[in-house]
Structure formats: C-alpha cells, structure tokens
DNA sequence: TTGATAAGTGACTTATAGACACAAAAAGGA
DNA sequence: TCCTTTTTGTGTCTATAAGTCACTTATCAA
C-alpha cells in the first residue's frame, strides 16, 4: 500500500467516522411471570463486552429495515420468535463514551409481551433469558444497558399510574386481580381494589370475555381482554401519589 | 495500493456505510410573543431542500459534542446566541425515505425560550426567523420537519395539562394571567382563572418576586418567577379534558 | 352443610376541579 | 375628589372522582 493511498483512505475513513456515529436500536422487552417483572437479556457474542449480558439490540440494517421500529421488531423476533403487541420508543441515548469503539447513539424502545407467548422459543436458546428486576441488581450489564433498563422501568411505572398499558405484559385474557397485582408491583405500593376497578370500568378499554377462572378456592374471576381499536395507552384518571415528577 | 488491501478497505468502508445512517439533531425551539406561539426556523443553505425553511438542526460533531444535548444546544446557540433554559428530548425519527441522500435518523428536542432573550440576535441574521403556528400552515418545510413540529406542538399541549413547563417560553418574571393565556393557546380552550391559580399555588413551583406590573388600567398583576431547584416539569393535578390519549 | 378464600359491590367520606359572584387595586375623566 | 372602567385576585358552593371498608357472592374442600 502506498503512503498516498493510505493517506487518502484514512482521510476518507476518518471523514466517515466524523459524520456518522454508530447507530443501534435497543428494545427493553418486559414480561410478567411468577409475580415478577422480568426483562429479556441476551449474552453478547462479539466485542466489546463479549460474554456479558445486555439488551437484545443491534445495528440498523439499511438494506432490510425501513424504519427504526423495523429494527426493534426484527431484533426481538430473532430472540423470541414473535412480534410483541406493544412497542413504544423510550429515549435515545448518545454520547462519546458509552461505546469504547466510537461515538455511539442508541434508540431505545419499551416493549411488552405475555410470558407464554415466547417462553418456549426462549427456552431453546442458550444466549437469551428472562431476568427479574431483583436478579438484575446483581448482574453487571454491557454498555449502559443497566441505566437504560432503569429508565424503561420508570416509564412503565408512570404508565401504570395513568393507563393500562402494562396489560400487554399479560396473556390475551386476564383477570382484574392479575392486572392490579402487576400495577402494584410496578408502583411499589398496594392499590384499593375498588378504585382500581372503577377507573378501568370508566375507561371502557376492556371487555368481558364471558369466561371465568378459578385458580384455587374462592370466587372465580372474570377474564377480560383488550377492546379492539382504542389503545390501552388512553389516559386514565389520577391515582393517589400521581403528583410526582415526569421522567 | 494492492488488491488485497483495497479489498479490505472497501469491505471496511462498505461495512461502515452499511452500518451507519446519517445522524442529525433537530431542536424545535418555541417561544411566546404577541399572544402567539412561535417556532424558530432557518433557511437551508445546502442540499437537499436548499432555500427551504426547516428546523435549526445539524449533524453531530463527533469532535466537539460530548452528548446529543451538546449538539442541540450548539445548533441553537449558533442561531440565537443564547442557551435556552428548557431542553427535552422529544422523539427520534428514522427511516429510509425521509432524506433523499440516505437512510437517516434525527434525534429531536423540544426547547423553550423567552422571546426577548434572543429577539435581538435573530433580527441581525437573514436566515433565521420566528414563525407563528398560523403562518406555519402556509409554509412548506424541508424534510419531514412539519410533522416533527406537529409532534412537538402536541407534546407541549400535554405539558400544559400537567405542568407549568410552558413558563420557560416566558421572560424570567411573568404574571399568572400571562401564563394562563399561554396555556389557553396551547390547549385551545379557555381555563377557569380560579382553578388555574389554585393548581399552581398547590404545586409551589413559583415564587412572588415582590414586584407588580400594570399594563393598562386595572389592578396590577403580581410578577412571579420559577423557584430555583424544583423543576417546572413536576406534575400538576388533572385539568378538565385530561382524559385523553398520550403522545 | 359449613368454613375458608378470593372476587366483586354498596355506600359513605374526603379531596380536588368547575363555576361564578364578589372584592381589591389601579387608571382616567368629570 | 369621586365615580366608572378595567383587570387581578378570592370566597364559596357544587360536581365529580378517588379513598376506605364493610358486605355480598361464588367457588372449593373438609
């Protein structure tokens, strides 16, 4: 290689690197199982932070992804085999230091799915697993993924105050006590049964499936499902303690 | 240059181009002046959409910007000469078609500033101006910037329901009737004077500056300022009509 | 049949927003 | 000086929704 050519090459390469930070998409997929909130992590197979656990994200594929959502859904399908019913952009983190390789930008999403929807697929692979919020505290994560999950967790908490978005982490049909328990875990406080039911009835976002379920002794609970059309992200009214700060 | 090296170089270069969409930062800077909400636009000096008006954004400068916020603030300082007191990430838009040149990602911010803070500086340059929401409808914008401003506008409307963030579009000292008028414009509906004042008092986010101002006949209004520390993004309680949908 | 258990409701209390009349503080003119 | 006009700011009643908690309903198991 001649010196001149190398010079040109480096200039060219540097210019490219100058204009374009690395761009990745990192979905934070939550589910609810065994009375715990869990997040999907994968074990990195490549540099940097090889072998460490992190979010199931990756680079935008300019050839096949038409949008950033496509990238998020593609990465989630690769790991879970299915498309989650809820996906919403969380925040974009970008700075010079979060990735050793270069200035790096990651567009993050919050996603929710029923545990049973992908439990089978995940059980077949060794490099992906559900990690509970409790386990998460002990597990060092790649890059700034721990911080990102913290943000997603906090956003989900806000959703629990004002919406029934968390219901997407439950199966298609679920009971109100199940949903209330999930909200209580997200909010870290007990909720009044009556207030909770009242808010959800008023919002008219759920419909009676006609079925009931009795887990073990006690009156059977009505199974509800999301009403088609009107999104579960519709605002509910205030819940006690809602007078806090935004994300 | 040897074939092998060129091969390696191209692979490297292609991979780089393959992995990296264009990354820009686009701040939507609002202000309030003459009873109108206005947004800062600049006239593009380069391809594509040359001569058209658009958001005062640009590429991330990997050498000088440590974070995405740095990029947003740098671009705003270039056009206004000052640093806005409020800057919050809005949303990231990325797809294959929004920029003719390439797959493109833009990280957007909502920013607010008092009109007087930068009116002088803007008046000196020909390629930047404040455009009212009304004027905006007639003006074709570069890229998808019209859609982005629409999203920012809608987010600001939500803020007006739950917070006093819009106060950052006012001077340091302002009266409650002024703030209420701004909120009414953002929400597109009249507000009850008593309810509005009560919510703001309860939030304890403003403090009496001790001064008063009488614009024209009538009782002089108390001038308030933001309390240091506690951000104005703290949630207020519900306002009628709040049972709508999130952004 | 009876007790245990969990789902779901009735009804009262409390808190906050809506509505609107009224008081307070200035300007200006006769 | 005093009265009118104008705008800011408050008092207070009403309406609505959330908090509380006892009570009813529906099922299982002994």
For residue B191, the domain's CATH number is: 1.10.10.10
- Say yes or no: B168 and B217 in one domain: yes
The string of DSSP letters for B225-247 reads EEPSSS-TTB-----TT--SB--
What is the value of ipTM here, to two decimals?
Answer: 0.90
| CB < 8 Å from B in window 101-120 of A | 102-103, 105, 107
Mean pLDDT of the B205-215 span: 89
User: Which nt sits closest to B238, CA to C1'?
Assistant: C17
Q: How far is the CA of A210 from the C1' of C21 (A)?
A: 52
- Say yes or no: B109 and B215 in one domain: no
B190 touches strand D (CB under 7 A): no
Q: Tell which residue, B109, B151, B153, has the closest CA to residue B131.
A: B153
Domain that holds residue B83: 18-159
Examine residue B246 and state whether it is found in any structural domain, yes or no. Answer: no
Q: How far is the CA of A159 from the C1' of C11 (A)?
A: 30
Query: Which positions of strand C lie within 7 Å of protein CB atoms?
Result: 3-11, 16-21, 23-28
Helix, strand, coil percentages, rounded to 5, for chain A:
35, 30, 35
Domain boundary, last residue among A129, A159, A189: A159
Maximum distance among all alpha carbons in chain A? 83
- Say yes or no: A137 and A194 in one domain: no
Examine residue B1 and state whether it is found in any structural domain, yes or no. Answer: no
- CATH number of the domain encompassing residue B106: 3.90.79.10
HSE-up of residue B183 (Cα within 13 Å, Cβ side):
26
Ranges A231-245, B28-42, B70-84, B148-162: which has the least confidence = A231-245
Mean pLDDT of the B42-63 span: 93
- Say yes or no: B33 and B116 in one domain: yes
| CB < 8 Å from B in window 218-247 of A | 231, 233-238, 242-246
Examine residue B247 and state whether it is found in any structural domain, yes or no. Answer: no
- Say yes or no: B154 and B168 in one domain: no
pLDDT tens digits, one per residue of A153-189: 999 999 999 999 999 999 999 999 999 999 999 999 9
Number of cross-chain residue pairs from A and B with Cβ atoms under 8 Å apart: 133
- Give the C-alpha separation, B138 to B111, whole Å: 23
pLDDT confidence of residue B76: 96
Whole-prediction pTM value? 0.90
Task: Provide the domain count of chain A.
Answer: 2
pLDDT confidence of residue A7: 35
- Give the C-alpha separation, A243 to B159, whole Å: 14
- Say yes or no: A141 and A232 in one domain: no
Maximum distance among all alpha carbons in chain B? 84
- Say yes or no: A131 and A48 in one domain: yes
**Residues 6 or more apart whose Cβ sits within 8 Å of residue B194:** none
Planar angle of CA A208, A214, A220, nearest 5 degrees: 55
- Say yes or no: B135 and B96 in one domain: yes
User: B244 vs A236: CB contact, 8 Å cut-off?
Assistant: no
């Amino acid at each position: 290689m001649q010196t001149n050519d190398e010079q040109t090459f480096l200039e060219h390469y540097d210019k490219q690197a100058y204009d374009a930070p690395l761009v990745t998409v990192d979905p934070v997929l939550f589910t609810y199982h065994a009375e715990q909130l869990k997040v999907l992590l994968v074990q990195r197979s490549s540099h940097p932070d090889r072998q460490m656990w992190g979010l199931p994200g990756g680079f935008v594929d300019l050839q096949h992804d038409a949008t950033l959502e496509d990238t998020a859904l593609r990465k989630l399908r690769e790991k879970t085999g299915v498309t989650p019913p809820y996906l919403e952009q969380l925040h974009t983190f970008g700075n010079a230091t979060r990735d050793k390789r270069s200035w790096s930008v990651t567009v993050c999403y919050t996603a929710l799915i029923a545990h049973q929807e992908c439990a089978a697929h995940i059980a077949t692979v060794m490099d992906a697993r559900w990690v509970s919020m409790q386990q998460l505290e002990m597990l060092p994560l790649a890059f700034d993924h721990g911080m990102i999950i913290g943000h997603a967790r906090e956003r989900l908490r806000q959703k629990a105050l004002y919406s029934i978005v968390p219901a997407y982490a439950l199966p298609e049909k679920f009971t109100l006590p199940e949903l209330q328990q999930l909200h209580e875990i997200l909010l870290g406080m007990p909720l009044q049964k009556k207030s909770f039911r009242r808010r959800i009835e008023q919002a008219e976002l759920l419909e009676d499936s006609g079925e009931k379920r009795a887990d073990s002794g006690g009156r059977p609970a009505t199974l509800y499902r999301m009403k088609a059309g009107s999104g579960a992200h519709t605002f509910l009214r205030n819940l006690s303690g809602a007078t806090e700060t935004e994300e």
